Chains A and B, each alone.
Chain A
Amino acid sequence: MNGKRTPLDLVRAEPGPAYTATFDGAQIAVLPGQTVAAALWSAGVTAWRTTRGTGEPRGVFCGIGVCFDCLVTVNGRPNQRACLIRAEPGDDIRTQHGTGHDETGEGEGR
């Protein structure tokens, strides 16, 4: 990173070994303790949902669980707030389209 400081450097972090999860099928490295949103940001991903109406991309907005813009499908479960849930080893994280129920065949949203 052209010698630039990172947040991890700033706090002298010594995280445990990274593990892998997948985002839309591609492998991403996840540091233990990170939320799904933090893991996606680290992998350079900033959008992981498209809206129900116009299909526009969205990602994190409020960062604290209030806005619901960061909804994502994890291991087949749609509508998870990426900024709140921890990423676990082997998680299958997928872009959520609309209510996220079409892909999973679970029927309409709640």
Chain B
Amino acid sequence: MSRHAHDAYDTHESHEGVGGGARRSLAVIGAGPAGLAAALAAAVRGSRVTLIDAGAQAGGQFYRQPAEELGARRPQALHHQWRTWERLRDGLATQIATGRVTHLTDHHVWCVERLDLDEATGFLVHALHGPAQEEPSVVRADAVVLATGAYEKVLPFPGWTLPGVITAGGAQAMLKGGLVLQGRTAVVAGTGPLLLPVAAGLASAGAEVAALVESAGVHHVARHARALSAHPDKLVEGAGYVAELMRRRVPLKARHAIVEAQGDGALEAVTVAALDRDGRVTPGSEQVIRCDTLAVGHGLLPHTDLAETLGCRLEGPAVAVDDEQRTDVHGVWAAGEATGVGGAALSLAEGHIAGCSATARLAGREPDPRAWNAAAKSRARGRDFIASLDAVFAPRAHWAEQVTDATVVCRCEEVPASAIREAVGELGATDARTVKLLTRAGMGWCQGRMCGPAVAGLTGCEPRPSRRPFARPVPLGVLARAGEDLPDE
């Protein structure tokens, strides 16, 4: 049963190492499943932990909570694995009460700086807090766990900039956190396992979900059924969402895709088309569905900025880690979706291992991996499962064929596909960096987080995380004042 996979391992007192010598401090960045598991595992083993998160409450994306003032008496109605959340929440409260964990909410970390001057080692975590995120705050720590999660990838299509088109995770975040829906009739589309809970969540909260449009084919799922069936708990979870969608009569359109969003100033309808076996639109299969909300997503991308500024090695889009969840930078661990997208259970397991390992190493001990056997098993199962899911839910091939020249690709700088095609076709650009310099795609506010995969796809190169100097925008005043602390780069 899934209870096992989602178990938080321990949120209670442990015997290992408490009280031995001066406590070393650990900064955990991100209070989602991974960060919470890491903070708790470290705290019960004797580390002094500062848990830092941009949110007003712990929980991250999976356990995002409504604002307390909204007075939700049954928040679990929007959640899964609620018992695990209760354990995490109560464990955090206990550790805060005993003074082993300090939880800094509303803190946006924009840079983690490594101190390796002779007399000082460790890290400075630079954050901004306050409603306008302009008050600087610095946390000093001997080691760091990066548990910054992921954000959603959306590949462009005509009309995707219309108000009313939102990311699937964004719809979920607004629902779980603000208890709001946009409009009344929604279409949920794209590819990946996140679409199921999003469609189920929207439907249960009162939206009419006119269709769930998944570009993967059912035959694909069947082909991978054997690998998937090794994970009955996950299948049960997925089947639960499907049952809920069927109960609410949400039409499921497999091997279909959105080819266009229409509307005059706001979304009014989407055009959906069937895909052939190669992932190409079947001519004549187009169908218009009226809706005022399109929740769309093509998978998730790890948040790696902080790791990159620290100089951690990446593997593909994710932070590379060893069996102990250590990055290749001494004193820096990473856990959860920052190290590869794989869901809440995997994030919990990785966080737990990172917290155990960090505490042992901070105390100068070689950790014994047998101490986290259960989590390691859960991690192995989780990674295995994700590999089979990735084979099922790949963003469809040939998506670029539907991207018209006029389609805006970079939302911030309003760069149309034609400009990117010109940079590639006429100006000879062969990589996303050159395209960026020629077109400004990726130079705006979001620093290419939204358009990166699309620009790479249209350029015909591999998407690569682009190095960003800071994880968050920083007011110049703060930067000037922090100047002395900044690394040379």
How long is the Cα–Cα vector from A1 to B208 in the complex, in angstroms? 13
B70 x A65 contact (CB < 8 A): no
A4 x B206 contact (CB < 8 A): yes
Tell me, yes or no, whether B17 is within 8 Å of chain A by CB.
no
Among B78, B152, B413, the most chain A Cβ lie within 10 Å of the Cβ of B152
Tell me, yes or no, whether A100 is within 8 Å of chain B by CB.
no
A residues neighboring B (CB under 8 Å): 1, 4-16, 31-35, 37-38, 41-42, 46-47, 51-54, 56-69, 71, 77, 80, 83-86, 88, 110
Range for the number of chain B residues in contact with chain A = 35 or more
A41 x B170 contact (CB < 8 A): no
A15 x B71 contact (CB < 8 A): yes
| Chain B contact residues: helix, strand, loop or mixed | loop
Tell me, yes or no, whether B174 is within 8 Å of chain A by CB.
yes
- Residues on A with beta carbons closer than 8 Å to the beta carbon of B74: 10-12
- Residues on B with beta carbons closer than 8 Å to the beta carbon of A54: 414
- Cross-interface CB contact of B205 among A6, A59, A62, A63, cutoff 8 Å: A6
How long is the Cα–Cα vector from A14 to B152 in the complex, in angstroms? 31
A61 x B166 contact (CB < 8 A): yes
Q: A13-B71, A31-B70 are in contact. Are A5 and B54 (CB under 8 A)?
A: no
Tell me, yes or no, whether B51 is within 8 Å of chain A by CB.
no
How long is the Cα–Cα vector from A59 to B265 in the complex, in angstroms? 11
How long is the Cα–Cα vector from A66 to B167 in the complex, in angstroms? 11
How long is the Cα–Cα vector from A94 to B205 in the complex, in angstroms? 29
Tell me, yes or no, whether B393 is within 8 Å of chain A by CB.
no
- Cross-interface CB contact of A32 among B69, B177, B444, cutoff 8 Å: B69
Q: A10-B77, A32-B70 are in contact. Are A68 and B180 (CB under 8 A)?
A: no
- Residues on A with beta carbons closer than 8 Å to the beta carbon of B475: 110
- Cross-interface CB contact of B412 among A14, A33, A46, A68, cutoff 8 Å: A68
- Residues on A with beta carbons closer than 8 Å to the beta carbon of B165: 61
B residues neighboring A (CB under 8 Å): 54, 56, 61, 66-75, 77-78, 131-133, 151-152, 161, 163-167, 169-175, 177-183, 204-206, 265-266, 292, 411-414, 444-446, 449-450, 475-476
How long is the Cα–Cα vector from A74 to B182 in the complex, in angstroms? 21
B411 x A69 contact (CB < 8 A): yes
How long is the Cα–Cα vector from A71 to B204 in the complex, in angstroms? 29
How long is the Cα–Cα vector from A33 to B165 in the complex, in angstroms? 24
B163 x A47 contact (CB < 8 A): yes
How long is the Cα–Cα vector from A105 to B266 in the complex, in angstroms? 29
Interchain Cβ contacts under 8 Å between A and B, 8 examples: A7-B175, A11-B72, A16-B71, A46-B266, A67-B411, A68-B412, A86-B56, A86-B131
Among A8, A11, A38, A57, the most chain B Cβ lie within 10 Å of the Cβ of A11
- Residues on B with beta carbons closer than 8 Å to the beta carbon of A59: 163-164
B476 x A34 contact (CB < 8 A): no
- B414: shortest Cβ distance to chain A, in Å? 4
A41 x B178 contact (CB < 8 A): yes
- Cross-interface CB contact of B204 among A10, A42, A65, A88, cutoff 8 Å: A10
Sample of 6 further A-B pairs with CB below 8 A, known A35-B178, A58-B411 = A7-B179, A12-B72, A13-B71, A13-B73, A60-B170, A86-B131
A66 x B446 contact (CB < 8 A): yes
A110 x B266 contact (CB < 8 A): no
- Residues on B with beta carbons closer than 8 Å to the beta carbon of A6: 181, 205-206
Please provide the 4 A-B residue pairs with the shortest distance between their CB atoms, ordered closest to farther: A63-B170, A33-B67, A38-B178, A33-B69
Cβ-Cβ contact count across A and B, 8 Å cutoff: 164
Q: Which B-chain residue is minimally distant from A110 (CB atoms)?
A: B476
- Cross-interface CB contact of A64 among B169, B182, B266, B476, cutoff 8 Å: B169
B72 x A67 contact (CB < 8 A): no
- A91: shortest Cβ distance to chain B, in Å? 11
Q: Which B-chain residue is minimally distant from A69 (CB atoms)?
A: B411
- Residues on A with beta carbons closer than 8 Å to the beta carbon of B292: 46
- Cross-interface CB contact of A63 among B167, B181, B450, cutoff 8 Å: B167
Q: Which B-chain residue is minimally distant from A4 (CB atoms)?
A: B206
Q: Which A-chain residue is minimally distant from B151 (CB atoms)?
A: A66
- Residues on B with beta carbons closer than 8 Å to the beta carbon of A4: 206
Q: A58-B161, A62-B152 are in contact. Are A68 and B68 (CB under 8 A)?
A: no
- Residues on A with beta carbons closer than 8 Å to the beta carbon of B69: 15-16, 31-33
- A50: shortest Cβ distance to chain B, in Å? 10
Q: Which A-chain residue is minimally distant from B293 (CB atoms)?
A: A46
Q: A11-B78, A61-B167 are in contact. Are A67 and B180 (CB under 8 A)?
A: no
Q: Which B-chain residue is minimally distant from A16 (CB atoms)?
A: B69
B414 x A66 contact (CB < 8 A): no
- A78: shortest Cβ distance to chain B, in Å? 11
How long is the Cα–Cα vector from A95 to B460 in the complex, in angstroms? 38
Q: Which A-chain residue is minimally distant from B171 (CB atoms)?
A: A63
Q: A13-B72, A31-B70 are in contact. Are A46 and B167 (CB under 8 A)?
A: no
- B87: shortest Cβ distance to chain A, in Å? 20
How long is the Cα–Cα vector from A59 to B75 in the complex, in angstroms? 26
- Residues on A with beta carbons closer than 8 Å to the beta carbon of B171: 63
How long is the Cα–Cα vector from A80 to B77 in the complex, in angstroms? 31
Among A6, A34, A62, A63, the most chain B Cβ lie within 10 Å of the Cβ of A63
How long is the Cα–Cα vector from A107 to B167 in the complex, in angstroms? 33
A57 x B265 contact (CB < 8 A): yes
A64 x B151 contact (CB < 8 A): yes
Q: Which A-chain residue is minimally distant from B61 (CB atoms)?
A: A64
A61 x B450 contact (CB < 8 A): yes
How long is the Cα–Cα vector from A61 to B171 in the complex, in angstroms? 9
- Cross-interface CB contact of B78 among A10, A34, A83, cutoff 8 Å: A10
- B313: shortest Cβ distance to chain A, in Å? 23
